[in-house]
Every structure is written in structure tokens, then in C-alpha cells.
Amino acid sequence: MLHYGSNNQVVHVGEMVLIDLGSAEGNYAADISRTFPINGKFSPRQKEIYNTVLEAQRIVMENAKPGLTTRDLNQLVIDYYESRLDDLGLRKDGKGVRDYYYHNVSHSLGLDTHDICNEKERLLKPGMVITVEPGMYIEEEGIGVRIENDILITENGMVDLSADIPKTVEEIESVMAK
């Protein structure tokens, strides 16, 4: 599920938790998401899906720069996922990328967590702060992963404002081991 509605489910060993959270400071908002395994260790399949989402995020962040639109960034995710569906065993029963990825990769941050704008066509300009949050949700396997960082668009690319928050499999497993 994109956003869990009831918030009253018991979690079990072998499952993952996806947390989408935000904060505000001085009238400005931030928003990040992290996904982690309840028992502290990703299963091989969870790791495979998690690393696919992480790679999608890396591709978007590597390419984010002035002159592109948020639609361009989203297309990078779609193209990457399309190239991975067969390897992940997800191209079955006529399913495609939009069956596993049904939101956009980015939204603006500012005075609100989802600052008001036409997100799908937003032209990136230096000074803008946006999220980069690819996700993949495989309902039939009970796996949902979203990894969200906040970035600042600069003259030549971007700065990852969430760089110090653990997000690799190794970093998460290390934190969970503590």
C-alpha cells in the first residue's frame, strides 16, 4: 500500500515496515521515507527489491539538474524498472511497471510537505527542494519499498540533504543490529 490507513497492524518477523515521516522547522517542511526489516535482516528477495528501488533513486539523483522536469525524473524510474521487470520475475499476467510503481518520484518541499505546484511538469531550477522517492510495491509478495531523500537543486546538479540518514541495506542492517 502506498500509505497505510489503519495504523494498527501487528508486524511479524520476516516483514518490513515502511515509514514515511516529515518534520517542520521555521515554517519549512521536510519529508523522508525509509523501509526496514522487522527482524533487522533483509531476506534475499527483500534485498533484491530494496536494491532495485535504491538504484532507481541513485539514477534520479545522479541526473537531477536544472532544466529537467519532475516528469523527466519520473521517466528515469519507469525506464529503469521496465529494464528490471523480467529479472525480478514481475512481468507476468500482463503486469507492467505501473502495477508495482503507482506514484511519481518527486514532489516539491517548502511551506508544506507537498508544496502546491503542477508536480508532473515542474521545471527544476536552482534553489528548489524536492523529494526523490521511488517505490516498488509487490502486493502478491507482501513487499513494499520506498526510499525517500530530500535534495536541493543547484546550478550544476543537486545536493542530497538527507545524505546522513542510513539507507543502504548494509547501513540499515548495521543500525538494526544495535
Per-domain residue ranges of the chain: 16-177
pLDDT at res. 110: 60
pLDDT at res. 30: 82
Other beta carbons within 10 Å of 158: 23
Residue 27, judged by CB atoms within 10 A of its CB (0-12, 13-18, 19+), counts as exposed
Other beta carbons within 10 Å of 71: 16
**Domain 16-177 falls under CATH 3.30.497.10:** no
For the chain, list residues with pLDDT below 70. 1-7, 110-121
Cα–Cα distance between 102 and 97 in angstroms, integer?
8
Q: What is the pTM of this model?
A: 0.90
